[in-house]
């Protein structure tokens, strides 16, 4: 009877099932550098996938290694070995216009390569989703109504002439599936972060070293400096505590 109740109420030995996840990615160089989302290759924290496999549209499969990741922007860079890979060209996300037609490319819901179309409805959008995996989230999403679902994460948002303008990263949906709104990281932000990850393994960000005196803050009078760190850029250019 004890064994029966242990099994019925799950008190007995438990086997942890193998954890698997999938997403999309964008090849950005002929030698196999790939952009994807941080949340595709990690658990949202410090945990990274034990093994990363990349399958191309021609069904060839490669083992990938993680070059670097940035939870703040939800980006990661992978590398597969080889040469002569087809790759996307960077566009300029600053030139994207509201109402412009765009295409989202990825592998949603276990489907093979899928393309959906939509229009840009906003730029510089923040939905506070990256705060789930970072204490210093960076968000400036391109919002579109191109259909994006689970599996699209890390895939390309491109113009109608095929230039990469964003990396699809998130949806805003109460039921977990596409409800009309999708969000992509603008490529001009992606380029800076990806270049740092490839060159340094992490992202180099400026450090002003200044805190704001909240009690003296006045939107019409700017922000009053409360303190200045000695090793910050603010101290180097002569910023001082407001009197």
65 vs 2, 34, 49, 78, 96, CA distance in Å?
Answer: 47, 10, 10, 6, 32
Mean pLDDT of 64-69: 96
Q: What ranges do the domains of the chain cover?
A: 2-79, 93-200, 206-243
Rounded Cα gap, residues 200 and 47, in angstroms: 20
Catalytic residue list: 39, 74, 153
Fold of 2-79: Thrombin, subunit H (2.40.10)
Residue 3's pLDDT band (boundaries 50, 70, 90)? very low
Q: What is the pLDDT of residues 133-151, one digit of tens each?
A: 988 899 999 999 999 998 9
Q: What is the pLDDT of residues 169-208, one digit of tens each?
A: 998 887 778 888 999 999 999 999 999 999 998 888 777 7
Q: CATH assignment of 93-200, given 2.20.140.10, 3.10.400.10, 2.170.16.10, 2.40.10.10? A: 2.40.10.10
Give residue 219's pLDDT: 52
Q: Which residue do the tokens 């276990």 mark?
A: 110
pTM for the model: 0.80
């Amino acid at each position: 009877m004890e064994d029966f109740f242990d099994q019925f109420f799950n008190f007995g030995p438990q086997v942890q099932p193998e954890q698997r996840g999938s997403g999309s990615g964008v090849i950005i160089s002929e030698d196999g550098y790939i952009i994807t989302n941080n949340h595709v290759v990690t658990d949202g924290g410090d945990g990274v996938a034990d093994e990363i496999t990349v399958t191309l549209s021609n069904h060839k499969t490669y083992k990938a290694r993680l070059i670097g990741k940035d939870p703040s922007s939800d980006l990661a860079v992978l590398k597969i070995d080889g040469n002569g890979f087809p790759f996307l060209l960077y566009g300029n996300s600053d030139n994207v216009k509201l109402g412009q037609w765009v295409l989202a490319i990825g592998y949603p819901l276990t489907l093979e390569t899928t393309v959906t179309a939509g229009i840009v409805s906003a730029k510089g959008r923040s939905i506070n989703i990256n705060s789930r995996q970072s204490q210093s989230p960076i968000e400036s999403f391109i919002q579109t109504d191109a259909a994006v679902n689970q599996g699209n994460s890390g895939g390309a948002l491109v113009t109608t002439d095929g230039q990469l303008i964003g990396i699809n990263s998130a949806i805003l949906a109460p039921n977990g599936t596409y409800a009309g709104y999708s969000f992509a990281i603008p490529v001009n932000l992606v380029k800076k972060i990806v270049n740092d990850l490839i060159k340094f393994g992490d992202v180099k960000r400026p450090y002003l070293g200044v805190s704001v005196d909240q009690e003296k803050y006045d939107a019409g009078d700017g922000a009053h400096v409360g303190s200045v760190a000695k090793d910050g850029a603010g101290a180097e250019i002569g910023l001082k505590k407001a009197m």
